[in-house]
Structure 1
Amino acid sequence: MDVFAGCTMSVKMWELTVSEKFNKLFSELEYCKKAKQIQKIKEMNRLIEEMNSETLDSVFTTDLFNEISRMIEEKKLNWNNAFLLLKCIGNCSLLNNCYDFEFLHSSLLERFEELIFEEYKKIEEKNKMVFVNICECYLLFYNEVPHQLLSTCVSCLLIIALNKEETEEVQKKVEMALLTLSCIIEDFNIEKRLYFPDIKEIIEYHQKFHNLTQIAYQSAWEFLIKRRRNEDSLEEVIVNELHFAREATKEVEELAKCANWKRKGKMKMGKEGIVISRWLKTLGKFLDLCKSWDDECDELIHCLVSRFREANDNYGEINNVNMYFFIQAVRRRDKAIDAFLKNGAIEAVLEKVVQLNAKLRIVDNSLRMLKILLFGLKSEMEKENDEVKRKEKKRVVREKMEEEGFEDCVYGYLHCWIKDKYFSYSFVLNVEDYFFNL
């Protein structure tokens, strides 16, 4: 009888969804002893790694964070075990572009703020790892660490990130430290002496020995690019010494070889897609903040136009949001516009617009991209002194648009948008913008 009961339980557990399995384990957590609790948290973390952004949103509610806070207060969950769970939640939420605002409304945020100040006061007296764990959890959920703690937090995380051992355990710690550093917002002014020698060493060492994970390397660059906003002298190093454009191109190309671009159906974005998505956001910041331009930047544009062509609807984050912001970042830069045109950006966008099965959101963002490109082209041609060259550019672009049946397509989408009450007033109703701005 017991055997059959055990089989029944196994079948029931197998039939549960990922979120149901997680909630079941979470409900049992406070009744376990420490060793069993760690085991359950590891099982929960494995389930978290399987979740997509929708599931993460549905599971990690204010109530759940309040429950964690209650268990800590009642000493049914110690801080070390809480860190183990929370870091996985924060890590997966961040990589899935799922920003957990539920955490900000929970009592756990206040409890973290009390703890972070408490540990900060005694940081010189003890091991800094407790403070590092708090900083990692705090920044993964809430990227505005208190200013008075910022320098100490950055220094502690860089100590972890500088570890060059290549064991799996150390690599995970390094990745988490760099991912956390990448969360610190651009507006936070950190003294250059506190981070620059270390982050430069981390990037250069990886370029030579390839010791970092893909996410760790991208995160190191994200942290450095963000610092450019408050430190003009970084541009020379970023562009000419560390060769960001070259490195980003190489990384995105390698990731694209592994990404499954042809898959069908709505699925969780794979690891390669997640890292490509993060690189594209960093590239947008780079073009917004750094004004230098060289042949490596031209290669970068070629790479990104190619990725846009390859990505299908399943990689909407790559197709829509990131490419849109990328083009926005370069819309006033003549050299970037030239690079986009030379590498077939207009053709790539038109291909998306004329797809019969394209989603309206994809078309909307594609039209936005096209408008930015055409406005940039118009501005560039106004500066072009050679009338023959100017007319030739107009002819080539206009012929391409007519060849693809673009005008009829836009008017067709205008009808769909009005019928479905889904359209962008500034982009669809002003259809003439796409034809007369040249």
Structure 2
Amino acid sequence: MNEVIDEMNKYELFYNLNGYIFDKIQKMIKEKKLSIESSILLLKHVGYCCVLKNAYSLRFEETPLCKRFKNIIIEEEEKKDEKNDNLLTDLCECYLLLNCEPSSKLISICVPCLLKIALKKEERCDNQKEVEMALLALSDIIQWNKVKRELYLNELQEIIKYHQKHQNLTRLAYQSAWMLLTNIFKHESSLLNIIMNELHFAKEARREMEELMGHVDWGKEKEERKNEKKKDMWIAKRWSRTVDKIILDVEFSDEDLIASLACIIRLFRLTRGDKKIFSISFKTTLLIMIIHHNIGVNGLLKSGAFDFLMEKIQKPTMSNEDTNGNLKIFLEISRQLKKGRRMKWKKQKERH
């Protein structure tokens, strides 16, 4: 079953893993055809694939199975003695990975539980996998405004800083820690200085994307590397989405801006755009860089963005969305050029 789920793309996950499947699993548990432990492990893997591939709206929170899991989590947390920590961890991960809108009560239980796992620093392979799963589940929480600051900030900084020194996390775990921090940033603008200046987000995101692109022979389909290659591609795309989340609110240096844009363009080329979703994400990023960060023609030339856009326009066929996106970008470039000429003319007039 896990192998079948691994092979599904985000659209197949979205359409096939629905309320009917969860009700079927609930029925099998009741009829003792499937143990609760086995169902949790299966659904953890489902959630892992869904979050990694950005497949949402599984409607898990509307099902009796979700209610059952919530009750077990609350019961385990309230136990004073003989608490089953492994069961609680598995259930918290399963619940967060499959649930787009976790309740405040469950968040207050799951976040400390999973941060405790994420703080493990041993570099054993099995430990790294545990930490990866915990951070991936936490990175998917949207409602961080419901979480008290003292539950996460010091721990997250420790996780990221320790990895920067000791390289103890997997690539996905490290990316998830950053996605988690940038999700929180939307509710905690005071984190901006920590993200950019203490933890060096721009440098780290670019380095990780460059390493991912160099880590894989993207042009060859080797069967033994197929699943690993797919995972690396999804991690790279998660980095791109993380940049998208924060780029409007962050002041990049000119050097970081051009280097980051060049990196995203190279990533886009290597993954061949991977359907329209990544294409739209890339163009949104580029528009923000042009409008908000005033990246000029020189920056577009240095980063390779201008050449990339010209290649897209010269294709014999383009979708309406592609045409619309490209036109918006060229209109903004045109406005920047006019703005630059007006500024130059104004300065010359002031001199005379």
TM-score (norm 2): 0.85
The secondary structure found in structure 2 opposite 1:165 is: coil
Q: CA RMSD in A?
A: 3.0
Q: Which has the higher contact order (CA 8 A, sep 6+)?
A: 2
Distance in 2 between the 1:260 and 1:318 partners?
Answer: 23
Partner of 1:222: 179
Say if 1:353 and 1:367, in contact at 8 Å, map to a contact too: no
Mapping for residues 88-103 of structure 1, pairs under 5 Å: 88-103=45-60
The yes-or-no answer on 1:78 pairing with 2:38 is: no
Distance in 1 between the 2:69 and 2:244 partners?
Answer: 32
Partner of 2:247: 287
Distance in 2 between the 1:247 and 1:302 partners?
Answer: 15
Partner of 1:272: 232
Residue 123 of structure 1 and its aligned partner are, at CA, apart by: 6.8
Deviations 1:208-254 (CA, angstroms, capped at 9, x unpaired): 12111111110000000111122222111111111111111111111
Partner of 1:49: 6
Say if 1:228 and 1:235, in contact at 8 Å, map to a contact too: yes
The yes-or-no answer on 1:133 pairing with 2:90 is: yes
The secondary structure found in structure 2 opposite 1:334 is: coil
TM-score (norm 1): 0.69
The yes-or-no answer on 1:386 pairing with 2:344 is: yes
Partner of 2:133: 176
Partner of 1:352: 312
Which runs of no fewer than 5 residues in structure 1 stay unpaired?
1-43, 391-438
Residue 166 of structure 1 and its aligned partner are, at CA, apart by: 1.5
Say if 2:248 and 2:292, in contact at 8 Å, map to a contact too: no
Residue 138 of structure 1 and its aligned partner are, at CA, apart by: 1.3
The secondary structure found in structure 2 opposite 1:350 is: helix
Say if 2:59 and 2:99, in contact at 8 Å, map to a contact too: no
Partner of 2:264: 304
Distance in 2 between the 1:243 and 1:123 partners?
Answer: 42
- More deviation, 328-337/127-136: 328-337
Q: Say if 1:279 and 1:381 are closer, same or farther in 2 by CA, change over 3 A.
A: same
Say if 2:5 and 2:46, in contact at 8 Å, map to a contact too: yes
Q: Say if 1:159 and 1:344 are closer, same or farther in 2 by CA, change over 3 A.
A: same
Distance in 1 between the 2:216 and 2:346 partners?
Answer: 43
Counterpart residue type for residue 63 of structure 1: Y
Question: How many pairs are equivalent?
Answer: 341
Deviations 1:182-231 (CA, angstroms, capped at 9, x unpaired): 00115534332221111111111111121111111100000001111222
Counterpart residue type for residue 154 of structure 1: V
Q: 1:253 aligns with which of 210, 213, 225?
A: 210
Mapping for residues 363-382 of structure 1, pairs under 5 Å: 364-365=321-322, 367-372=324-329, 374-375=331-332, 378=335, 381-382=338-339
The yes-or-no answer on 1:151 pairing with 2:108 is: yes
Say if 1:245 and 1:296, in contact at 8 Å, map to a contact too: yes
Residue 67 of structure 1 and its aligned partner are, at CA, apart by: 1.1
Say if 2:101 and 2:143, in contact at 8 Å, map to a contact too: no
* Bigger CA radius of gyration: 1
Q: 2:19 aligns with which of 48, 59, 62?
A: 62
Same amino acid, percent of matched pairs? 36
Deviations 1:82-134 (CA, angstroms, capped at 9, x unpaired): 11101011111222222252534543233233333333433776243322222
Say if 2:258 and 2:302, in contact at 8 Å, map to a contact too: no
Q: Say if 1:56 and 1:181 are closer, same or farther in 2 by CA, change over 3 A.
A: same
The secondary structure found in structure 2 opposite 1:281 is: helix
Residue 325 of structure 1 and its aligned partner are, at CA, apart by: 3.4
Distance in 2 between the 1:321 and 1:272 partners?
Answer: 20
Which runs of no fewer than 5 residues in structure 2 stay unpaired?
none
